[in-house]
Amino acid sequence: MTTQLPPGLQLEKLNERIMTLNVGPQHPGSGHMRLVIKVDGDYIVSCDPDPGYVHRGEEKMAEYRNYIQNIPHLERPVIHDSCNVLYPYCLGVEELLGVEVPERAQYLRVIASELNRCVYIQYWLAIYGIFLGHSTMFMWPAGDRELFIDLLEKMTGARVTHAFFVPGGIRNDVPANFEDMCLKRVNYFEKRIKEYAAIFYDNPILISRTRGAGVLSRDDAIRLGTTGSTLRASGVDFDLRKKEPYDVYSELDVHSNVLKDGDSYARSKIPWLDMLESCNIIRQALQKMPKSGSVRVKLKPNPKGGNDEVYKRVESGRGSLGCYIVSRSKPEPYRVKMSVGSFRNLICMPYLLKGEKLGNMPAVYWSLNYWPVEADR
């Protein structure tokens, strides 16, 4: 067996020195999955990710429920980004049914999806702080995300799983004072997350554990099919809100955040920059959104799609999230298949961890913006 190891390590009797570690599936450093890691001393020789411990069978369940009944359970794989999980499904069903969503509903969808993006990133960032031994960076995001959770509750009626997006628009209009409340919280939130730079991104703890760790080149990021912050941290400017705009994103000025280093530090910083951009998008949407109008097209009971198929994708908190729907002229879809960013980014984990120190594993792993429950949908 030929293994690339750091200089200075003796290679004789290599197989006798290799130790296999099972990290997870119930472990603070792996989440709801298992990592089969082989180490030689403190260095990782190989890593074999073993997902599937929280498999829910969402796609199969969708075949036994009609297009409307699928809404609540399809958002469960990523409950803290439920709007973006439902987004491509609703876009696909609307195309199958030939439904045009009212303009006000499209703007409210954009606002809800960007609020949910920030809620998810704050959750991800809080866990990253714990992974790196930075407890302050757990408390700050965990507290700040409550601002948008409360706002989404006023908007949708539910704090976490909203079931807000439905084929034809959104479930209900927002309260009369929502726009002013949303603008005030967004402005405060933007000032607040800028303070993260001093406490976290300029912190020597984060820098020493992530700079140069798990470097993913631009060519490898494309070759391995990565997406979202993992892809853009390696210098690839690809954001579906700009490249393939949906709903009213084409009417908004969306900036795509890109860094070139491709290491764990760059991958950890892109989501933070994305939160700042989400605040900018929400402000634009609040300004351009019609002040009144319908927010949903009323569908017939048990609507049926034609004998057709459709694929729609959006830019979620983890990257490109697509939904492929096959219709056979029945109230229930014949097939629903989701392509999620977490599963696509998982493939590069073995490449990035090989040769790293075992202590760097959490920093590299969580920088990939991988959410096990989404991958195990």
Mean pLDDT across 274-303: 92
User: Of 201, 222, 197, 224, nearest to 211 (Cα)?
Assistant: 201
The residues with which 169 forms a beta bridge, in sequence order, are 166, 296
The residues with which 23 forms a beta bridge, in sequence order, are 35
Structure tokens at 317: 């908190």
Mean pLDDT across 287-304: 90
**CA distance linking residue 4 with residue 13, whole number of Å:** 15
pLDDT score, position 324: 96
pLDDT score, position 159: 86
pLDDT score, position 27: 67
Domains and CATH numbers, the chain: 7-50 (no CATH), 58-376 (1.10.645.10)
Which pLDDT band, with edges at 50, 70 and 90, does 289 fall under? very high
**CA distance linking residue 144 with residue 118, whole number of Å:** 10
**CA distance linking residue 18 with residue 37, whole number of Å:** 10
Give pLDDT tens digits for 9-21: 555 555 667 888 8
Structure tokens at 295: 């927010």
pLDDT at position 145 over 50: yes
Q: Where are the alpha helices (DSSP H) in the chain?
A: 14-17, 58-61, 70-74, 82-97, 103-131, 136-156, 178-194, 196, 204-210, 218-223, 228-232, 240-243, 264-288, 341-346, 349-353, 361-367, 372-375
Query: What's this model's pTM, rounded to 2 decimal places?
Result: 0.91
pLDDT score, position 91: 95
Mean pLDDT, the chain, whole residue set: 89
Which pLDDT band, with edges at 50, 70 and 90, does 57 fall under? confident
Give pLDDT tens digits for 152-178: 999 998 888 888 999 999 999 999 889
Mean pLDDT across 197-214: 88
Give pLDDT tens digits for 116-128: 999 999 999 998 9
**What region, left, alpha or beta, does residue 212 occupy, with left being phi > 0 and alpha being psi -120 to 50 degrees?**
left
* Secondary structure in 3-state letters for 90-123: HHHHHHHHCCCCCHHHHHHHHHHHHHHHHHHHHH
The answer to whether 15 and 1 are in contact (CB under 8 A) is yes
pLDDT at position 327 over 50: yes
pLDDT at position 1 over 50: no
Give pLDDT tens digits for 207-240: 988 898 889 999 999 999 999 999 999 999 999 9
